[in-house]
Amino acid sequence: MTESTFLPIPDRPNFPEEETKTLAYWKEIDAFQESLRQSKGKKPYNFYDGPPFATGLPHYGHILAGTIKDVVCRFAHQRGHHVERRFGWDCHGVPVEGIIDAKLKIKGRADVLNMGIDKYNEECRAVVLQYTQEWRNVVERFGRWIDFDNDYKTMDLSYMESIWWCFKELFDKGLVYRAFRVMAYSTALSTPLSNFEVQLNYKEVSDPSIIVQFKRTDKENSWLLAWTTTPWTLPSNMALCVNPEFDYLVLKVKSSGQEWVVGKDRFAWVCSCTKMDQEADFELLDTVKGATLVGIGYEPLFPFFKEKCAHNKDKVWHVISDKYVTASAGTCIVHQAPAFGEDDYRACVKFGVIEKDGTGMIQPIDEAGCFTADVTDYKGMHVKAADKDIKEALKKNGNLLHNGNEVHNYPHCWRSETPLIYRAIPAWFIKVEDARDKLIANNNQTHWVPSFVKEKRFHNWLMEARDWCVSRNRYWGAPIPLWVSDDFEEVVCIGSVAELEQYTDRKITDLHRHFIDDITIPSKQGKGVLKRVDEVFDCWFESGSMPYSSKHYPFENKEDFENGFPAQFVAEGLDQTRGWFYTLMVLSTHIFNKPAFQNLICNGLVLAADGKKMSKRLKNYPDPMDMCNQYGADAVRMYMCNSPVVRAEPLKFKEEGVKDIVKDVFLPWFNAYRFFVQEVGRYEGEHGKFVPDSSRIKKSTNVMDKWVNACLHHLIKFVREELDAYRLYTVVGGLTKLLEDLTNWYVRLNRDRMRGNNGQEEALTSLCTLYDLLLNLAVLLAPVVPFITEFMYFNLARALPEGHEMKAKSVHFVMIPEFDPEVIDEDIQRAVGSMQKTVELGRVCREQKKVGLKTPLKKMTIFNQDPRFKSDLQPLHSYIEEELNVMEIEYSTDVSQISLSATLNFKLLGKKLGKEMKNVQNAAKELSQEDLLKFEKEGTITICGFEINAEEMSLGRSIKDLTDPNLQPNGDSETLLVLDFTPDPELLKLAACRDVRNRVQRLRKEAKLNHEDPVDMYATVVEAKKDSTLAEALKEKSEYLDGLLRRHLTLEAAPAGAEVIIEESFDVDGDKVKVVITKKA
């Protein structure tokens, strides 16, 4: 007996269990490193992997981005490239410091300095990589191939030295400067944030909304009204600002005799807040321009800084003007606290209230956002916490006119989740505004998927790009390599370890603060010694330098880096548009005047099933490893890759979606594979060794062989083209469509051929066709679902001879095949597509009539105007008859009996039509048949002045004056078919035979019988209903019944003494039938 080519396949697969076996196999053969060894010397494909923090565990966002990267890199390898893939770790910054602060109960800068920066930083170093093994476990369990052993870390000396080189390049080009500016500031982190960090975390909050009255010093009982949402800034007030061109009302409050000054355009709002009537409660004294108010003095609300500002009493606490004041909110009079507002600072400098360098400015808060001793009443209170007490003081002093609240979006620290404040602070900046045109030009050289993120979101961000604040007042980070004199007039930038070693007698082995802060540089201008500035780099600068620093460029790997820059591919989430993607672009533009990457895939956010943010606290999402253990990593990978999330849209992660991938994709695919292995076993038992022969497929005259082979090669061509464009969402969709065609159409329609019912040659041809499909699909799908494809390929490859180009130790070592243009046949693909559509329309008809497929129908009429339609379907006639169990098919191109109707797509048209939707809907109902036919031909129509296209309106077809209840129509935009459900006694007999066939087959399956097992089968009607004709019908149609079963069924009781394997009695339309299967006599 011929030894079976393929290993036996289990009835029910356990995908997670098979995946763990595959992981063990990969480890055994050192699969990833082996793939790199095999591709060594091939054209390199350069990929940059952005570094995550290892201070927390990976979530679905990381898994999604990692999967996208893995899929693209695997495809690149299978296209003949050498793809280096190194994992990286973001080691510095607040996530690490936060852990240490919580552990050691550190409250602020003083605690760190008391402890010592050296001890603090070493504590940070100790926890940086605490979760690296967990990361590795999760990443590898999800099938991603990436080098963890040769990783890069942003805290390594080599990485930090290249960061310094990048910065010195910018410094030498005059792109670095120090400035005193009002910036977004995190009081929780005691550091300023860059403008793009501010955009990362807006939250809707309720803040105070108060109107405060300031008492004029030039006039008795006259008050200037200002509005603010930040009461905590009022102790630092230094001026009031009006718009010089606005009209301001001078009003007398009748009840109190007070005089108010308020913007004319905001007077109604003030009245609504104070619950006063514009006419009854006020007397208008005058209307003046804002410019006439400039110079008016007023009394400060608080006494804290009267002495400090006495030297500048002619400037401080006076009215100034600037056109930034708007009439969209408030009173048209803006309170000025230059220490906490960018426009305030600029306007106060213009009017001499403060100096440009901040001299004379009131700034009574410390680095933690708490009031200093200067503000005695609120000393030590956090500014936000002081709002309530400040409002109480204003009320007591008669200055609080209105105390309300306002709900608005406000920026929060993206690390600590605390509200930001704006504060004047000295910081180091990189010039970006002057380079906007270069940034946009470089962005235009890149290819993004989806393109709208590049063309709109990122482009718009670049157009408004601001100078980048790269300094952070922190400790655990790459120190900024600037040594300065006390007056900051002499500055030296260090760009390497060797350069720094010139100024010390020791070997530099680490560039963190506690190793270098004590090093001084002699002044060349007689200013004593230069000391390093206190700040460290923004961690975004560190990650933005990843292309250079990860390779220790230019100190090592110079030629390797320069040959591979820019990278061919990067991928991260939508949130990195203003993060990593931006910093990559800024640094590469400044240093090389090139983009850092050529192609980019931007994924959307992964949300919980209810559309909310995934939350560990709420536990509103399934644990990733639980999904792996229950359904397998492949299911999660395909679920995500076949969703809108790969084109930057959000994904509401649902466990049912992962489960459906197993049920609707993997199990049918596995069953087709299992069926193939079983049928090859049957073939080899009768005819000898199965040898795959692709030339046999090309010579086949069978229409389904030609069709599925054309589909395969069309898919290979499609996958190659779409991968070149990085459109994963179309690639995965195309692959799953062929899987569906394989399982739902090719295998089902060719079972008889594969089982040998049409002879040995037809069996071999169909098996070769199916083998070729399964093998090539395993290779094509390997990057997306690396486990199940490895599992299948391992067995399928046993049929390939040694030396065959597709035979390897792993499917991931096999190159994506070339497509054969000769077998791509659009005509046959169109024809089978029409057949599939017809069958699906017919199935819906049956569902609508609630008549199952086992009931044969007499006739089906198909209406279609296209003359090719009939010629396309005629060679496929038998398939349609079998799939729909219909005896006769009639075709008609006569559309005079067909009526068209229009259906509007309300979802698409809603925004476009607005209130006109109802009018357009009514007008669409009145469209004539001629109008609809013209629309069908041209693809557009004008309704109520709106141009409507084929996406916005679809056409349906129905039969005119159809009254026979036994005729059931169904159609789409091109085809209409009518199934005849008129009862027919002869057809009912055939239906009974099908019912018996189904029960017998189920019984055989329950007994785990194979096709070739030697058995006898018997069936008898043991309890017949009155007037039953079932027994006679079965005998009359016995040949038809045997044909359905593909074996003989004896219509009598089993002989006494026969060895029974299994038996069962069941109901067939009221009659009781008994089936017995025995061992062959």
The residues carrying an active-site annotation are: 51, 90, 540, 576, 580, 613, 616
Dist. CA 710–CA 955, nearest whole Å: 31
Dist. CA 117–CA 114, nearest whole Å: 8
Alpha helix (H) residue ranges in 823-905: 826-849, 867-873, 877-884
Tell me the two tokens of residue 612.
């909310």
Contact 891, 862 (CB under 8 A): yes
H or E stretch covering 38: helix 31-39
**CB atoms near residue 475 (< 10 Å):** 22
Helix pair 94-104, 117-128: axis angle to 10 deg: 110
Q: HEC string of 793-820?
A: HHHHHHHCCCCCCCCCCCHHHCCCCCCC
Name residues whose C-beta falls within 8 Å of residue 611's C-beta, 6 or more positions apart in sequence.
650, 652
Q: Do you find a cis peptide bond into 1055, omega within 30 degrees of 0?
A: no
Long-range CB contacts (within 8 A, 24+) of 807-813: 809/29, 809/31, 809/34, 810/26, 810/29, 810/31, 810/34, 810/35, 811/778, 811/779, 811/782, 811/786, 812/31, 812/35, 812/74, 812/77, 812/78, 812/145, 812/782, 812/786, 813/34, 813/35, 813/38
Q: HEC string of 621-655?
A: CCCHHHHHHHHCHHHHHHHHHCCHHHHCCCEECCH
Which of 1015, 1045, 1051 is CA-nearest to residue 1033?
A: 1051
Dist. CA 862–CA 976, nearest whole Å: 6
Contact 781, 735 (CB under 8 A): yes
Q: Do you find a cis peptide bond into 554, omega within 30 degrees of 0?
A: yes
Dist. CA 601–CA 616, nearest whole Å: 27
Tell me the two tokens of residue 170.
């910018």
Tell me the two tokens of residue 104.
């050691």
Contact 450, 728 (CB under 8 A): no
Contact 157, 509 (CB under 8 A): yes
What is residue 291's DSSP assignment?
A: G
Tell me the two tokens of residue 815.
């190159």
**CB atoms near residue 202 (< 10 Å):** 13
Contact 45, 566 (CB under 8 A): no
Which of 232, 187, 493 is CA-nearest to residue 386?
A: 232
Sort 354 into a burial class: Cβ within 10 Å, 0-12 / 13-18 / 19+: buried
Which of 775, 754, 778, 755 is CA-nearest to residue 765?
A: 754
H or E stretch covering 215: strand 202-215
Dist. CA 971–CA 837, nearest whole Å: 10
- Per the listing, tokens 């379907």 go with 873
Dist. CA 104–CA 1074, nearest whole Å: 79
Using DSSP's 3-state secondary structure scheme, residue 899 falls into strand
Tell me the two tokens of residue 636.
């999660």
- Its sign, for the CA torsion 241, 244, 247, 250, is positive
